[in-house]
Chains A and B, each alone.
Chain A
Amino acid sequence: MTERNKELERLMAAMPRRAITRRDLLRRAGAGAGALSIGAFLAACGVEGQETDPSASGEDTYTTQQVAGTLNFANWPLYIDRLKGRSPTIDDFEKQSDITVNYKEVIQDNESFFGTVQEPLSNDQAIEWDIIVVTDWMIARMIRLGYLEELDHSQLSNFEAHAGEIYKDPVYDPSNAHSVPWQSGITGIGYNPELTGGEITSFDQLFDPKLEGKVGMFKEMRDTFTLTLLSNGVEPQDATIEDVEAAQKKLVEQKEQGIVRNYYGNEYADALLRGDLAATMAWSGDVFQLQFDNPDLQFVVPEEGGVLWVDNLAIPQNAEHPIDALEFMNFVYDPEIAAQITGWVNYICPVPEAQELLVKQSKTDGRYYKTVAESPLVFPTPEMESNLYSYKDLSPDEEEQWQDLFGELVQG
Chain B
Amino acid sequence: MATTTERIARREPIDATAPPQKPRKRRKEWLLPAYTGLVIAYLFVPIAIMILFGFNNPAGRYNFQWEGFTLKWYNPTTLLEYEDLNDALINSLTVAIVSTLIATALGTLIALALTRHRFRGRSSLNLGLFLPMASPEVVLGVSLLALFVSINVPLGLVTIIIAHIMFSISFVVVTVKARTSGFDHNLEDAAGDLGADPWTAFWTVTFPLIFPGILAAGLLVFALSIDDYVITSFNAGGATTIPLWVYGASRIGVPPQVNVMGTLLFSLGLLYVIVSLWRGRKAEALAPPVGKG
A and B associate in one complex:
yes
In the complex, chain A residues whose CB is within 8 Å of the CB of B146: 34, 36-38, 119
B81:A38 contact, CB within 8 angstroms: no
- Alpha-carbon gap, A82 to B255, bound state (A): 13
Structural contact, A292 and B64, CB atoms closer than 8 A:
no
A-B contact count (CB 8 A): 130
Select B234's contact among A115, A290, A345, beta carbons within 8 Å: A115
How many angstroms from the CA of A78 to the CA of B64 in the assembled complex? Answer: 17
Decide if B80 touches A85 in the complex (CB within 8 Å).
Answer: yes
Q: B237 near A: Cβ within 8 Å?
A: yes
For window 68-88 of A, CB contacts with B under 8 Å fall at 72, 74, 76-79, 82, 84-85
Asked if B240 is at the interface of the complex by the 8 Å CB criterion, the answer is yes
Selecting from B96-104, B119-127, B206-214, B245-253, the interface stretch reads: B245-253
Chain B residues with CB under 8 A of A115: 141-142, 145, 233-234
B248–A125 touching, CB < 8 Å: no
Chain A neighbourhood of B193, CB < 8 A:
none
Interface residues of A toward B: which range? 35 or more
Given contacts A123-B149, A270-B64, A292-B60, contact A128 B237 (CB under 8 A): yes
Residues of the B chain whose Cβ atoms lie less than 8 Å from the Cβ of A42: 150-151
Q: Which of B59, B143, B235 has the most chain A CB within a 10 Å cutoff?
A: B59
- Known contacts A84-B77, A115-B142, A120-B149, A77 near B62 by CB under 8 Å: no
* Minimal Cβ-Cβ distance residue in B for A87: B83
Give the residue name and chain of the B residue nearest to A119 (CB). Answer: B149
Contact of B82 among A85, A112, A123 (CB under 8 A): A85
Which one, A34, A108, A288, A346, contacts B233 given CB within 8 A?
A108
B77 touches which one: A85, A128, A274 (CB < 8 A)? A85
**Are A78's CB and B62's CB within 8 A?**
no
Taking a contact as CB atoms under 8 Å apart, the answer to whether B240 and A104 are in contact is: yes
| Mask: chain B, 13-52; 1 = CB below 8 Å from A; 0 = not | 0000000000000000000000000000000000000000
Which A residues lie within 8 Å of B253 (CB)? 78, 289
B238 touches A104 (CB 8 A): yes
Nearest-CB distance from A284 to chain B (Å)?
A: 13
Task: Confirm or deny: B191 has a beta carbon within 8 angstroms of a beta carbon on chain A.
Answer: no
Whether the Cβ atoms of A274 and B64 lie closer than 8 Å is yes
The reply to whether B250 and A105 contact each other, CB–CB distance below 8 Å, is no
Contact among B80, B239, B252 for A78, CB-based, below 8 A:
B252
Is A109 part of the binding interface, using a Cβ–Cβ cutoff of 8 Å?
yes
B150–A37 touching, CB < 8 Å: yes
Cα distance A346–B251 in the bound complex, in angstroms: 12
Nearest chain A CB to B258 CB, angstrom units:
10
Would you call A112 and B64 a contact (CB within 8 A)? no
A77 and B84 form a contact (CB under 8 A) = yes
CB of A266 closer than 8 Å to a CB of B: yes
Contact residues of A between 264 and 311, Cβ < 8 Å to B: 266-267, 269-270, 273-274, 285, 288-294
- One digit per residue, 1 when the CB lies within 8 angstroms of any chain A CB and 0 when it does not, for chain B 245-283 equals 101111111010000000000000000000000000000
Contacts of A76 in B (CB 8 A): 248-249, 251-252
Bound complex: CA A79 to CA B249 (Å) = 8
Query: Is there a chain A Cβ closer than 8 Å to B292's Cβ?
Result: no
- When the two chains form the complex, which single residue of B64, B85, B255 contacts A273, counting CB atoms closer than 8 Å? B64
Instruction: Return chain A residues, CB-CB under 8 Å to B62.
Output: 269-270, 273, 289-290, 292-293
The reply to whether the CB of A155 lies closer than 8 angstroms to some CB of chain B is no
Tell me, yes or no, whether A106 is within 8 Å of chain B by CB.
yes
Cβ-based interface call for B116 (8 A)? no
Q: Nearest residue in B to A34 (C-beta to C-beta)?
A: B146
For chain B residues 54-80, which have a beta carbon within 8 Å of chain A? 58-62, 64-65, 67, 77, 80
5 contacts between A and B (CB under 8 A): A37-B146, A106-B248, A109-B248, A285-B252, A289-B60
Question: When A and B form their complex, which 3 residue pairs have the shortest distance between CB atoms, in order from nearest?
Answer: A292-B60, A39-B150, A36-B146
